[in-house]
Amino acid sequence: MGLEMGDTHRSKPRSRRGGVRRDPAAATISRVADAAGVSRATVSRVMNGSTTVAPELAARVRAAAEALNYEPSLLARSLALGRTSTVSLIVPDLANPMFQDILRGLSTAAGAHGHRLMVAESNENAEAEQILAVEARRRSDGLVLASSRIPEPQLRALHERLAPLVLLNREIPGTAVPSLSVDYHAGIRAIVAHLLGYGHRRLVYLAGPPASTSNTDRLVTLRAEAAGSPGFHLTELDCGSTFETGHAAARAVLATGATAVVAFNDMVAFGALSGLHELGVSVPGQLSITGFDDIPFARYTTPPLTTASIPKNELGRQAWERLWALMSGAPPGYDARFQPRLLVRDTTGPVRA
């Protein structure tokens, strides 16, 4: 049975009046309906697998769609359905492998539920992040903010516009916004205990971006530990979150006279390691270094990096679960705070006698 170019149900002649200049050859549902000699409703039913269409009619519609290379407009579909089947993730720095693992976990979980992930990067810029967040949210059904740098007051003012919203490594106290985080306090305590155990008493902290709340967490704990242990001396050095900043800090680190370096994260630790190596400093002989996150290459540095591992993939996966619950009206799970696991590798050792 061939295609009948039936006239019966032709939609009213398109006068192209209020229209927009647009590809006139583009296949739309109306064109397919005309070609198959059925109504738009029937085409829609066939395309969506409704069973209430006679097999022979359905075949004709499918043939027409095929012949015209028809693909339903996702835009129109989303508008009609009121959902895009898309969720967004915003991260401060895509270059940080930590966020990539989160991204993968989220993307995979979302994909398994038929949702696509859109990713945007704020480049550590809180202003840009706010704009991005609002816009990304408007184009999708839900939003995940990872390590948001948006200051608390703005975030608090914004969170209703962003819902359904899930936060990673961030929370808004007093609201119901689901939050998944890492216990940086515990991680830092483990690192400090490890270093103290090796006899280190003079530590230097390479601080991350000031807008990072997880940086604040680390700092608070370090100061508390320093205050609580007699003989423990802590120096703080403003650094950043990248190789470059870590590398650039090497000389300043040496100047502090510290015997161990607690870096904001693995990238900074790696940069510092490289910088110190260039200065002829042996690690861990002269100086111990720790990172944080356990990004993939941490175990391949020379020497392999002692760091605190966090469940990045799991953060992404559970972020999806919370978001999905929110979107489908179910109660989201309880907030979770993951405990980092100290991985002792070879950048830490006994303090030099």
Partner DNA sequence: CGGAGCTGAGTAACCAGTTTCTAACAGAGC
Partner DNA sequence: GCTCTGTTAGAAACTGGTTACTCAGCTCCG
Residues within the interface to DNA (CB under 7 A): 9, 12, 14-20, 22, 26-30, 37-45, 47-48, 51-54, 57, 70-73, 75-77, 79-82
CA 81 to chain centre: 27
Nearer to its own copies, 103 or 310 (CB): 103
Nearer to DNA, 137 or 149 (CB): 137
Nearer to its own copies, 74 or 227 (CB): 74
264, 218 Cβ separation under 8 angstroms: yes
Minimum separation from the CB atom of position 228 to DNA (A): 55
**Residue 328 contact, options its own copies, DNA, none, Cβ 5-8 Å cut-off depending on partner type:** none
Minimum separation from the CB atom of position 271 to its own copies (A): 6
**Residue 152 contact, options its own copies, DNA, none, Cβ 5-8 Å cut-off depending on partner type:** none
Side-chain-side CA neighbours of 47 within 13 Å: the count stands at 21
**Residue 62 contact, options its own copies, DNA, none, Cβ 5-8 Å cut-off depending on partner type:** none
For strand 202-207 and strand 260-263, is the pairing parallel, antiparallel, or unpaired?
parallel
Minimum separation from the CB atom of position 129 to DNA (A): 23
76 burial (CB, 10 Å; 0-12 / 13-18 / 19+) is exposed
Taking CA atoms, 69 is separated from 25, 27, 79, in Å, by 10, 7, 22
Minimum separation from the CB atom of position 26 to its own copies (A): 9
Side-chain-side CA neighbours of 169 within 13 Å: the count stands at 31
Distance between CA 132 and CA 149 in Å, rounded?
12
Tell me which residues touch its own copies (CB under 8 A).
20-22, 69, 71, 73-76, 78-82, 84, 86, 94-95, 97, 100, 103-104, 107, 116-121, 134-135, 138-139, 161, 242-244, 247, 270-271, 273-275, 277, 296-297, 300-302, 304
Nearer to its own copies, 94 or 172 (CB): 94
Instruction: State the DSSP code for 300.
Output: G
Structure tokens at 77: 């579909």
Distance between CA 74 and CA 317 in Å, rounded?
26
Nearer to DNA, 76 or 134 (CB): 76
**Residue 244 contact, options DNA, its own copies, none, Cβ 5-8 Å cut-off depending on partner type:** its own copies
In sequence order, what are the residues at sequence separation of 6 or more whose Cβ sits closer than 8 angstroms to the Cβ of residue 325?
Answer: 178, 331, 332, 333
Minimum separation from the CB atom of position 48 to DNA (A): 5
Nearer to its own copies, 163 or 325 (CB): 163
For residue 16, report the phi and psi dihedrals to the nearest 5 degrees.
55, 40
Nearer to DNA, 9 or 161 (CB): 9
